[in-house]
Chain A
Amino acid sequence: MSTLSVLLRQRARRDRWQLTIWIAGIGLLAVVSASAVAQTYGDYAGRENILRLAIANPSILMLRGTPQGGRLDAFVFFEIFTFLALLAGFMSTFLAVRHSRAEEESGRAEMIAATPAARTTPTVATLIHGFLANVVLGGVVALAFTAGRLDAYGSVVTGAAVAATGVCFLGVGLPAAQFMRTSRGANAVAAGAVGLAYVVRGLGDALGRPGADGIHLTPAWTSWLSPIGWGQQTGAYASNNLTPLLLSAALAAVCLVALFLLQAHRDSGASLLAGRAGRVNARGDLSGPLTLAWRLQLPTIIGWCIGGAATGLLAGTLSKLAEQAASADPTVTKVLRDMDQGGGGSVDQLLISVMFSLVGVLAAACSTQTVIRMRQEETAGTAELILTAPVDRTRWFGDYLLLGTAAIVLVLFSGAVVSSLSALAVGGDPARVGDSFAAAVAQLPAALVYLGVLALLFVLLPGLTISLGWTLVGIGVFLGFFGALLGVPEWARNLSPFTHTPVPVGGSTDWSDGAWMLVIALAAAAVAVAVMRQRELKPN
């Protein structure tokens, strides 16, 4: 058996559950969205109406896609494709890093590289493995949409577009793993690239030029800078044009050439970014579990804060734009209000509130990562070094909760500050400053619920902390942001903390849900601390 086929089998075996869940999950999302859209927006006129409203409002386009007419299947593509492509991107970058940098970091790559497989074959195996995973994903998506009674050829085009986006980000993830020294860093860079691609195409849609009939849109040039944008440009179910996917293939090819050039010049386990020598003595402030956790987690927190600031920038600058759009078309206000479940406020207030719900997701993700870091410290054995010193385990645990809270506040704060400043810079109403901060504060309870609940899971089911942590964020986003659109029953949507986030718009804001979430977060944290008192260190 050739070394390549051995390594391919090993990868397939190792990922058998993980990839099955990714691919089945994305496929399920496709099926559900096709049928839900058909149910919710059954008639052509209704869909046309929605498209008109969407085109008039940049923030909806930002989160959806490019309107291309009122046909049901084209409408489904508009609603869900960018999200599917985003997921395909994440699946591919995580796969790339998992089988490259993470392996080198753990030292396992060295064992493999010492066999006749050497240094290159494992990379080739990862490449083929990732490519096949995306082909299967594309097939599943195509089948899912066809099963949802959408046009068969258009569904194939959609599947191809999803797969091409995934392959493209597989190509981005592998060189990222060459550059970065840690898998955490490589994941951050590669996943950041996926997020950036989503935002860049979002700008393209938001700033696009509406067609004469008001239900088509030509995206602005920025869409052409994004692999997700290329997928949208296929115009599946409308123009069914596969040519833009050549760009994805080209980018993937360029990345792969770079990858093999980089790898040819790099020692196994080394990074292309040289490490700096460290300090002989620690700075005075590195003296306890809290300062250590802060030091370890700071780069991650900065990363999420940049995300928060970038979203804040969009909120601040787009609010002005939305205001103009709204004065031209009053129905826009209604759509935004429906999205936000809030009471009467101005359009730009609403838009800020919508954008900050995204900052809230970032804050929740950041706090999730803090708890995950605590778990990683436990499994790596570094927590043991701390807990065998005179440090109480509940104090150690409590410090991570404190850090998680601080991280949430920092992410929300950076969003609010940048949103305020950018709103003022584009000549917006100074009242937007207060709106931004109110919107940020409103996100606090949901993010704290994530922190408290995951901390409780860490105490009770430590082995599941990492996988459940991200799953909970994913489910919360899905139910909270896409649930209503996809006709998910209300009780299920109510499970998501994001559904209950207060909307500080207009005169009377209902903060009661927020207060309840605070109570839940505090109760979860309190129980977690109490149980932690009796919990052993569980490295496995």
Chain B
Amino acid sequence: MDTVIKTRNLVKRFGRVQALDGLDLKVSAGEVHGFLGPNGSGKSTTIRVLLGLARSSSGSAAVFGQDPWNDAVELHRRIGYVPGDVNLWPNLSGGEAIDLISRLRGGTADKAYYAARKSRLTEVFQFDPTKKGRTYSKGNRQKVALIAAFATPAELYILDEPTSGLDPIMEAVFNQEIAHAAAAGSTVLLSSHILSEVEQLCSRVTIIRAGRTVESGSLAELRHLTRTEISFAAEGISQEQLAHIPASHDLTVAAGRVRFSVGSDKINAVLPVLATLDVQGLTVNPPSLEELFLRHYGEELAADGVKATAR
């Protein structure tokens, strides 16, 4: 089985609200797939459909080739899930919640193996399992779900903005665990709006907006569509010289620096010109997902009065 997740023209309506409007998503076995979109674009709804918590209004969705609504129980044996907003039972300790979820998932059959995994994860995530659910902060509640998800090996991990409450150190730990899982051959669907995280972890990305897929492909493919940002010291460089730089966009001179962007496939044409200008303090920023992201949502942001230039 090559394709792990496949949705075609997925539509989900809640009353009059159209949460998903023909969403296409394809995740192949073994890949770490970034699922990007702004708040309210339908990421969580898609995930709820994939987990059989909600039923699609039309279109198709398949996980491991099975119907997520009808075969939910069977599929869940192969899936580890971290919700975007983790809520715990107020009077159960974190350790108890982890054990409960793991037992439900059948991950505790080999007791010693499970205990070892649980204690390793508790340690790397620096988590105190003795507190009651109501006393944990958002980040700590998320750790409960993360530890429970990783303590039982899964073929597919579905993670809904799993790091939104974690500090940078814990984010690094999380990245490590994803790398472990990917190395073990698991497939990961990672929903996020933190682009650096997705750039670091994901090999392929799907970007959605208002319930529709707007872009999908490998990072390299997507980068092709974006611009590289170049800047250098402005001292001793005339306007006329700047006008000679080919294929430049949005050129500005401010705070003693010249900045402009250039299509990523045009860089080779720009570099010799920069050499002849003998520029100082040159920085070249590779295209980022952020830029791509902002380009897709630029119109929306502009309408809201936010300046939509990349970086």
Binds B, one of A284-292, A311-319, A359-367, A463-471: A284-292
In the complex, A393 Cα to B54 Cα: how many Å? 12
Question: Which residues of chain A are near B131, meaning CB under 8 Å?
Answer: 277-278
Task: Please indicate the chain B residues that have their CB under 8 angstroms from the CB of A385 in the complex.
Answer: 83, 86-87, 97, 101, 145
- Contact of A296 with B89 at beta-carbon distance under 8 Å, contacts A282-B99, A282-B100, A390-B77 already known: yes
**Residues on the A chain within 8 Å of B97, using CB:** 282, 385
Report yes or no: B53 in contact with A536, Cβ–Cβ below 8 A.
yes
Residues of B within 8 A of A306 (CB): none
Asked if residues B100 and A292 are in contact (CB atoms below 8 Å), the reply is yes
Q: How far is the CA of A384 from the CA of B48 in the complex (A)?
A: 10
Size of the chain B interface, CB-CB below 8 angstroms: 40
- B6 beta carbon closer than 8 Å to chain A: no
The yes or no answer to B150 lying at the interface (CB within 8 A) is: no
Output the nearest chain B residue to A533 by Cβ-Cβ distance.
B70
In the complex, chain A residues 269-301 whose Cβ is within 8 Å of any chain B Cβ: 275, 277-282, 286-289, 292, 295-296
Q: Are B104 and A287 in contact (CB under 8 A)?
A: yes
**Given A278-B94, A279-B95, 14 more pairs with CB closer than 8 A:** A280-B93, A286-B96, A286-B103, A289-B104, A382-B87, A382-B89, A385-B86, A385-B97, A388-B76, A389-B76, A390-B77, A390-B105, A392-B72, A537-B48
Is the CB of A381 closer than 8 A to any CB of chain B? Answer: yes
12 pairs, CB–CB < 8 Å, chain A vs chain B: A277-B93, A278-B92, A278-B96, A280-B93, A281-B96, A282-B97, A381-B85, A384-B53, A385-B86, A390-B73, A390-B74, A534-B55
Interface residue from B83, B94, B106 paired with A381 (Cβ < 8 Å)? B83
Shortest distance between the CB of B104 and any CB in chain A (Å): 4
Contact call A388/B99, Cβ cutoff below 8 A:
no
CB contact under 8 A between A388 and B87, given known A278-B94, A537-B53:
no
**In the complex, A182 Cα to B89 Cα: how many Å?**
12
B309 lies within 8 A of chain A by Cβ: no
A537 contacts B54, CB within 8 Å?
yes
Interface residues, chain A, with chain B CB atoms under 8 Å away: 105, 181-182, 275, 277-282, 286-289, 292, 295-296, 380-382, 384-393, 534, 536-537
Verify if B130 is at the interface (C-beta below 8 Å from A): yes
Minimum C-beta distance from B95 to chain A (A):
4
User: In the complex, what residues of B have CB within 8 A of residue A281's CB?
Assistant: 95-96, 99
Mark interface residues in B38-70 (1 if CB within 8 Å of A CB, else 0): 000000000010010111000000000000000
A450: min CB distance to chain B, Å: 25
- Known A288-B104, A387-B53, A390-B73; contact A279-B96, beta-carbon cutoff 8 A: yes
With A275-B135, A384-B53 already in contact, the answer to whether A389 and B92 are too (CB < 8 A) is no
- Nearest residue (CB) in A for B79 is A388
Tell me the minimal C-beta distance from A214 to chain B in angstroms: 54
CA distance A287 to B98 in the complex (A): 11
Known A-B contacts A388-B79, A389-B105; A280 and B55 likewise in contact (beta carbons under 8 Å): no
Instruction: A50 to B129: give the CA distance in the assembly, Å.
Output: 64
Beta-carbon contact of B73 and A392 below 8 Å: yes
Q: Is B210 at the interface (CB under 8 A from chain A)?
A: no
Whether A536 and B55, one on each chain, are in contact in the complex, defined by CB atoms closer than 8 angstroms, is yes
Residue B90 at the chain A interface, CB threshold 8 Å: yes
Contact yes or no, A390 B93, CB < 8 A: no
Within 8 A of A (CB), among B119-148: 129-132, 134-135, 145
Q: Given that A292-B100, A390-B105 are known contacts, is A278 also in contact with B93, CB under 8 Å in the complex?
A: yes
Q: Assess the A181–B134 pair: CB atoms within 8 A.
A: yes
CA distance A295 to B92 in the complex (A): 9
Alpha-carbon separation in the docked complex, A296 to B92 (Å): 9
A162 smallest CB distance to B (angstroms): 35
Cβ contact within 8 Å between B95 and A388: no
Decide if B293 is an interface residue (CB 8 Å cutoff). no
B88 at the A/B interface (Cβ < 8 Å)?
yes
In angstroms, Cα B81 to Cα A392, docked, is 16
Identify which of B73, B104, B106 gathers the most chain A CB atoms within 10 Å of its CB. B104
| B89 partner residues in chain A, CB cutoff 8 A | 292, 296, 382
**Cβ contacts under 8 Å, B129 to chain A:** 278, 280
B90 contacts across to A, CB distance below 8 A = 182
* Set of chain A residues within 8 Å of B130, measured between Cβ atoms: 277-280
**Inter-chain contacts of B54 with A (CB < 8 A):** 536-537
Does residue B203 face the partner (Cβ distance < 8 Å to A)?
no
Kindly list the 5 A-B residue pairs having the minimum CB-CB distance in the complex, ordered from nearest.
A278-B93, A389-B104, A282-B99, A381-B87, A282-B96
Residues on B with beta carbons closer than 8 Å to the beta carbon of A288: 103-104
Q: Given the interface contacts A275-B132, A287-B104, A382-B88, does A391 sit within 8 Å of B73 by beta carbon?
A: yes
Instruction: Name the residue in A279, A286, A389 with the highest tally of chain B Cβ atoms < 10 Å from its Cβ.
Output: A389
A318 to B280, CA, bound (A): 100
How close is A538's CB to chain B, nearest CB, in angstroms? 9
Q: For the complex, what is the distance from the CA of A71 to the CA of B73, rounded to whole Å?
A: 68
B91: interface (CB < 8 Å): yes
Query: Which has the most chain B C-beta neighbours within 10 Å: A105, A381, A390?
Result: A390
Determine the chain B residues whose CB is within 8 A of the CB of A287 once the complex forms.
Answer: 100, 103-104
> How far, in angstroms, from A152 to B50 measured CA to CA in the complex?
66
Rounded to whole angstroms, the CA-CA distance of A281 and B147 in the bound complex is: 13
Instruction: Contact check, A390 vs B104: say whether CB atoms are below 8 A apart.
Output: yes
Chain B residue with Cβ nearest A181: B134
Which B residues lie within 8 Å of A279 (CB)? 93, 95-96, 130
Please give me the residue from chain B that is nearest to A389 by CB atom: B104
